[in-house]
Structure 1
């Protein structure tokens, strides 16, 4: 790499609630020469960032506008309702949307759940963020339904959460620009999908697997050259003694072939 070249850098965006640590560690083990930069971004901002190439890939929450983007769904999160610890819901293991029908439910402007018909009674105003909505729940004003990872992210000692059985769930996907599927993106896809470093589907594995084949071919060529040299020496020796290599190698020296002579 010359002084004018920019060293490679893989930029990975991720939305709140996603913990990319395990994939980052694997990247650092397999590609120590390529730094990975983490960029935290809101769920609403993530698709635009990927289209503008401000990140090479990113963990997003579905659904998103898939225009010019590729996406691999990875997992689905359980949706939970966040409640004060002294709320009646805290006494049960799970609830349904019908159980929340009489409750005031907040739907913040950054809500990531794809609601068709939100349960509960709407609040007078929509909080700007999920963090703001959590503060209102703590104040006893209403409740909040979010993906479980966001409930953990905004955990408070005075709040708890319970699974909700029949509401939309959030899916996490790995996404990138369709026309920017680089080698680094392919490497990261392999890591997220659990491929090993020696997987035949990875470009690095293919490059590493080609080296033993080349060595094997080179060894075969060298062995053929040695055999040809040995045959040439054998033929030269046979010419100087007047005997063929076959005759020299077959039977005792001076042996005659044909029928044995009868004794008189």
Structure 2
């Protein structure tokens, strides 16, 4: 927890390069009237960051630095890119913005298309070409949405310390605690099977049930019960304005407490307890 102190692991997660550490220490010393010499070695610099860590002051300095970083600026720029890509989709009459197939099931999709005897070989080529184009475009839109979301979450929440690098397994520190941002293309098959045709409204009214289901149905190879920020797309046609309003409306000071059971590969069913935030994106 960063409120108690910063560790070498936290330093590696937060800072992207040597120069960022130096700039941080220079600003910290200036604001706290510390008259210290910044060490030359990497080990010495990291030790200095640990020894002089001041959660309240350090948080504000890191946030201010982040707003001038390439990661933040490129993420914020994605607002215009998202709107352009959606408009371009519509200009090309590509229909409803929805995934034509899943990446994991591409082989199955092609096999089903090949069995369609009502289409000629040329028709099948044209159908597949258009669906691949849709897949690529949606992938591009969602990549930019996710970068935009990360920048906006930091912008609107002063209790968040951002990371200057892209980390696997950690994106922010919220009130000093590490959180990983997970993106889901929907609520998942298990949630739909459990709640049937009414799943959409149930998800909107009970986001905690969505989060619980996502924890319960994750792959065991990547299983964990760490705190997360779930970004869940209930609809695919999500504008940048919708994303921004959803983030503004989400309280990032009160996580959802989750108790869930998980059946592990050894057939043991264990109870896990965690907490998370969930950002439901819908029209």
Query: Which bracket does the TM-score occupy, shorter chain normalised?
Result: under 0.3
Which TM-score applies when normalising by structure 2? 0.21
Larger Rg over CA atoms: 1
Query: Greater share of helix residues, 1 or 2?
Result: 2
Higher RCO (C-alpha under 8 Å, 6+ residues apart): 1
